[in-house]
Amino acid sequence: MVGLVNAEPPENAGEYKNVLIFLETRQGKLAKPGLEMISVGAAIAHKVNEELIGIVMGNKIEGLVQEAGEYGCDKVIGLKSKDLEDFRTIPYSVNLSELITELKPNILLIPATRNGRDLASRIAVRSKTGVTADCTELDIDPAERILQARRPTYGESTLAEILCKRHRPQMATARPGIFSVPERDPKRKFVSEIRKTTIKKEFLKKEIVSFKPKSTLDLTSAKIIVSGGLGLGKPSGFKLLEELAGEIGASVGASRPTVDMGWIERDHQVGQTGQSVRPDIYIACGISGKAQHIMGMRLSKNIVSINTDASAELNSISDYIINEDLYKVIPELIDAIKRRKSGEKKPAEAPA
């Protein structure tokens, strides 16, 4: 507990060095959002001749520490305890903040997953520092060693650069799915250390009584999305979209009103209160394009709008506009795709 005090900057801010990265584990494995930060974390550290130090917490972590090094951390520190087996806010934040006090990192990166954000919020207050949430670009000013943390704001319309000049560590969380997981190299050289730790009973008051694995639809990593709005007119309209999606390997998205009407499950919702997506192609079917929907999909590489309403707002940000009844044109589109697929198979079959 920090008590009700302000964020007083340290006098020795200049002495803080290296980039610390929290590698989240999920069900005994290193989770992808943490690995995604290794390349960018290493680039920032190496630009100022510092090291990228990976932190892994858990119980059986020997293999994970090795893995973190092979993915590109210069140094890996494992904190080992049976009480760290599953993520819990207080034991994780107490241990990570003790490491921060000891190592004095200039920068701390944490994935912007649910547990990552849960942890980052508490660490920022514990360390009396600032944190920039959900970054999509990270860089460093090499002269001042100031982290340039950039995040989309105002509904993905603006990129804000946020600095934390006097407080340490400079913290940022990185949005999952933006940076790529680096290649794993089993021959990579790195330093590692595993420390056994014990957690005080007073920090273990929250118990996890059960965990039910559930696969939720992740639209953020989808390459193609076929999405439906109220223009579908009826819940069964999504059946047609599923058929189209099946032909082109797409995921099915939805506008908020269709979800509110119970036409489709909540995890399909695209938009400000749903998922923010940026697929290669977004096919909007019967979606008028309220701002809250557009904010969640406007960074799609290509946008197709199928709508009877020629004045639909979504048309103004579309690469392709099909101003037709979707029940007429989508079956035609499915047939055209089938023809194209079978047409292209022929030459490959011929030489045999």
Partner 1 sequence: MTLEIVVMIKQVPDSQEVVIDPVTFTLNRSAARNVINPADENAIEAALRIKDKEKDVHITVITMGPPFAETALIDAMARGVDDAILVSDRAFAGADTYPTGLTLAATITRMGKFDIIFAGEESTDSSTGHVGPGVAEFLGIEQASYTSSTWIEDEFVYADRELEDGIETVRMKSPCLITVLTNSNVPRNPTLRMKIDSIKKGIKTWSLADIGLKPEWVGLKGSPTIVKSMRTINEKKREGKKFKAGEMDKFVDELVSKGILKL
Under the criterion CB under 8 A, does residue 328 sit at the interface with partner 1? yes
Which residues inside 66-85 make contact with partner 1, applying CB under 8 A?
A: none
The 155-174 contact track toward partner 1, x by CB under 8 A, reads xxxxxxxxxxxxx-------
Q: Which is nearer to partner 1, 189 or 205 (CB)?
A: 205
Which residues inside 225-244 make contact with partner 1, applying CB under 8 A?
A: none
Q: Which is nearer to partner 1, 138 or 164 (CB)?
A: 164
User: Who contacts 190 (Cβ-Cβ below 8 Å, separation ≥6)?
Assistant: 69, 70, 73, 74, 75, 76
User: Please, are residues 48 and 146 in contact by the beta-carbon 8 Å criterion?
Assistant: no
Q: How many CB atoms lie within 10 A of CB 22?
A: 23
Under the criterion CB under 8 A, does residue 208 sit at the interface with partner 1? yes
Which residues inside 10-69 make contact with partner 1, applying CB under 8 A?
A: 26-27
Angstrom distances, CA of residue 24 to CA of 55, 78, 108, 114, 160? 9, 12, 13, 11, 26
The least distance separating partner 1 from the CB of residue 161, rounded to whole angstroms, comes to: 5
Residue from 82, 195, 239, 301 in contact with partner 1 (CB under 8 A): 301
Residue from 49, 102, 196, 344 in contact with partner 1 (CB under 8 A): 344
Residue from 19, 38, 56, 131 in contact with partner 1 (CB under 8 A): 131
Under the criterion CB under 8 A, does residue 287 sit at the interface with partner 1? no
Under the criterion CB under 8 A, does residue 275 sit at the interface with partner 1? no
Q: What is the dihedral of CA 139, 143, 144, 149, to 10 degrees?
A: -10
User: Who contacts 55 (Cβ-Cβ below 8 Å, separation ≥6)?
Assistant: 20, 21, 22, 23, 76, 77, 78, 79, 96, 99
The least distance separating partner 1 from the CB of residue 93, rounded to whole angstroms, comes to: 7
Query: CA angle at residue 251 from 265 to 311, to 5 degrees?
Result: 85
Query: CA angle at residue 177 from 259 to 300, to 5 degrees?
Result: 60
Residue from 11, 102, 207, 349 in contact with partner 1 (CB under 8 A): 207
Under the criterion CB under 8 A, does residue 212 sit at the interface with partner 1? yes
